[in-house]
Amino acid sequence: MAPDGRLRVRLAQASPIPLAAGFDCAPGEVLALTGPSGSGKSTILRCIAGLDRPRDGRIECAGELWLDTRARMNVSPQRRSVGLVFQQYALFPHLTAVGNVLAALGHRPRATRLARARELLASVHLAGLEERRPSQLSGGQQQRVAMARALARDPKVLLLDEPFAAVDRVTRQKLYRELAGLRRQLAMPVVLVTHDLDEAAMLADRMCILHRGRTLQSGSPHEIRTRPADALVARLVDMRNVFEGIVRFQDASARRTRIDWHGVALEVAHAPQFAVGTRVAWTIPIGGIVLHRRDRPSRGEHENPVAGTVVECLALGDDTTLGLRVDGPAGLQLTLRVPTHVADRNGVAVGVRAGASLLAEAIHLMPWRDPGEEGQARDGTAGANEVG
Amino acid sequence: MIEWQALALSLKLAAWTVALLLPAALLIARALAWRHFPGRRLLEAALALPLVLPPTVLGFYLLSAFGTQSALGRAFVALTGHPLAFSFAGLLAASLVFNLPFAIQPMQRAFEAIPADVRPAGACCGMSAWGIFTAIELPLAWPGVLSALVLTFAHTLGEFGVVLMVGGNIPGETRTIAVAIYDRVQAFDTRSAGLMAAVLLALSLVAIGVAYSTHRRAEPVRGA
């Protein structure tokens, strides 16, 4: 076991919370554990910290073995060098900010602790507030104290449990920037638990999608959001356009794949792993659908054109989200997003006829599973692009 | 006139009760507040029993348990050479039992009020279990712990029924101030009874005052 600083986690249990999770995190890397409430994110974090013990598992960090259920070894939280920022921060209410940080400095020589605590508080922009109690600090300031306390231990891994969930939007944006700035100085693996995909995409180098305690897919936020492993991941990362189709044409030399989508032929990104005749799930990011201009033809209109009726038109600031019901018996609905000024100029409104192109390279095929299976993709039903 | 011997005995009994009950009640209260084990509710109910049981009933059962007919009583005689019933030791044992709810319940409430993640946070800071107990739990729970001790002390001074059943009325051994007051009233010595009652009243007022003032002073911290 080379002491390369990596965190390696393998966990499995059937109850009380089912777990089948495995992931690695390199020093300096931020890994986001993402999934809906109850997907076991916090439990996994508590297992890494040693606060919870899984039935089966192995956790090693920076060359130290912290948990190995087979060898019946489980290092206590005190002897694992972890920094954990709790969801509600769990600051010691009777201690001042500096007292909270001092509590985690027991491993340093006594004479150096106070200076180190003040230095840490200064690094999270809390200089001058050292003597305040948590109740005298704002939510954002409390989060910073919690961050300073977590770092005080000189941890070999930093664990953040929904650290931005308990603050307002404006503060959250500020804390995002601070963490982004702080992480350049962090030499240890950082595991961030969040249910917020945008947060994960913004802060993390890699994402790990969790569902009912299972790690479904790991990869860069961009990779997961454009190339989900299956329809369940696509649904969990909030992809709106998830459908099914049948592979109709494969040409290895021309690197082309074509599928049939309820009577509509679609060119898709080359996916040689699916044989002709295979039923597949497929998805396209909202940004992969281009609205046709209504006044005159535009370039690229020949690429997977579909026509339909606008059934939903939701302007949110600069962007407008459209629901387009595609012509045909299946009543399928695509979701696309256009700049609001484009929507206005084209006179797009509910009830208006519109055409759109599905960019072939953006269409991503995934293995199809029986809809009876847990959380699988369905389309062609009343909800059209409802999934799972 | 005030029976100083009875007052001293009552204070001694109360002091011993508080001293012995403190560690036991801390352990039990923490377990009840945080641990989930089978029979927890049953144990909680059993510990609350002295609150609702008539003191004479409790005293009767304790007397039966302390008598030489019982295994406990015989074991005590074998160990010490004198019986448990009608002795200071017996009185103390009874006092420990009837004070259980007064000691445990305020402590349990105080421990329960500590936010759930604060103790794990201590562990993640590298603090030992003892360190967490002394630096985190006790400072947060101390108003409850203190009021438990004050309640126990005051309640021991005033307990009458159980004391009379288990201890009788042996001067210097089991005659507490509460028994002395009763005795004086029976003898139509209302002046002595009144004086001693006033002393007990004053002690109780001081105790309650202490308990309330610590609670109020502690509140800003608890609100965090």
The DSSP-derived string for A119-150 is HHHHHTT-TT-TT--GGGS-HHHHHHHHHHHH
Nearest neighbour of B224 by CB, restricted to A83, A133, A153: A133
Q: Which of the residues B119, B124, B128, B142 would you substitute to probe the A interface, choosing the one with the greatest number of A C-beta atoms within 10 Å? A: B124
Q: What number of other Cβ atoms are within 10 A of residue A272's Cβ?
A: 11
Tokens of A151: 């770092």
Nearest neighbour of B118 by CB, restricted to A51, A90, A133: A90
Residue pLDDT, tens place only, A172-217: 999 999 888 888 888 999 999 998 888 999 999 999 999 999 999 9
- Which 3 state secondary structure label does DSSP give A307? strand
Residue pLDDT, tens place only, A87-120: 999 999 999 999 999 999 999 999 999 999 999 9
Nearest neighbour of A93 by CB, restricted to B124, B126, B224: B224
Residue pLDDT, tens place only, B174-218: 899 999 999 999 999 999 999 999 999 998 888 888 878 876 665
Cβ–Cβ of B224/A134 closer than 8 Å?
yes
Q: Does the pLDDT of residue A46 top 60, yes or no?
A: yes
Cβ–Cβ of B224/A84 closer than 8 Å?
no
Give chain A's domains with CATH numbers. 7-231 (3.40.50.300), 241-367 (2.40.50.100)
Residue by residue, DSSP assigns A227-252 as: S-SSHHHHHHTT-S-EEEEEEEEEET
Average pLDDT, chain B: 89
Distance (Å, rounded) from C-alpha A332 to C-alpha A248? Answer: 20
Q: Are A161 and A193 a contacting pair, CB within 8 Å?
A: yes
- Please report, as a single letter, which amino acid is at residue A247: V
Distance (Å, rounded) from C-alpha B4 to C-alpha B16? Answer: 18
- Which 3 state secondary structure label does DSSP give A313? strand
Q: Does the pLDDT of residue A299 top 80, yes or no?
A: no
Q: Does the pLDDT of residue A228 top 90, yes or no?
A: yes
- Which 3 state secondary structure label does DSSP give B53? coil
At residue A182, the pLDDT reads: 85
Q: How far is B210 from chain A (nearest CA, A)?
A: 21
Cβ–Cβ of A93/B121 closer than 8 Å?
no
Nearest neighbour of B124 by CB, restricted to A49, A91, A133: A49
Q: Does the pLDDT of residue A74 top 80, yes or no?
A: yes
Cβ–Cβ of A134/B124 closer than 8 Å?
no
Q: Does the pLDDT of residue A376 top 60, yes or no?
A: no
Q: Are B33 and B44 a contacting pair, CB within 8 Å?
A: no
**Mean per-residue pLDDT for A238-258?**
91
**Mean per-residue pLDDT for A22-39?**
92
Cβ–Cβ of A84/B121 closer than 8 Å?
yes
Report the DSSP pairing between strands A319-326 and A333-339.
Answer: antiparallel
Give chain B's domains with CATH numbers. 4-222 (1.10.3720.10)
Tokens of A388: 């799972």
**Mean per-residue pLDDT for A365-387?**
51
At residue A371, the pLDDT reads: 56
- Which 3 state secondary structure label does DSSP give A94? coil
**Mean per-residue pLDDT for A135-147?**
95
Q: Does the pLDDT of residue A386 top 70, yes or no?
A: no
Q: How far is B2 from chain A (nearest CA, A)?
A: 45
Q: Are A101 and A80 a contacting pair, CB within 8 Å?
A: no
Cβ–Cβ of A104/B221 closer than 8 Å?
no
What residue ranges in A220-332 does DSSP mark as E strands? 242-251, 256-261, 264-268, 279-283, 289-291, 305-316, 319-326
Q: Does the pLDDT of residue A322 top 50, yes or no?
A: yes
- Please report, as a single letter, which amino acid is at residue B20: L
At residue A360, the pLDDT reads: 92
Q: How does A164-178 read in b/e, with b if 16+ C-beta sit within 10 Å? A: bebbeeebbeebeeb
Q: Does the pLDDT of residue B223 top 70, yes or no?
A: no
How many CB pairs below 8 Å do chains A and B form together?
76
Please, what is the Cα angle at A149 between A144 and A152, to 5 degrees? 125
At residue B217, the pLDDT reads: 60
Q: What number of other Cβ atoms are within 10 A of residue B92's Cβ?
A: 19
Does this model's pTM top 0.90? no
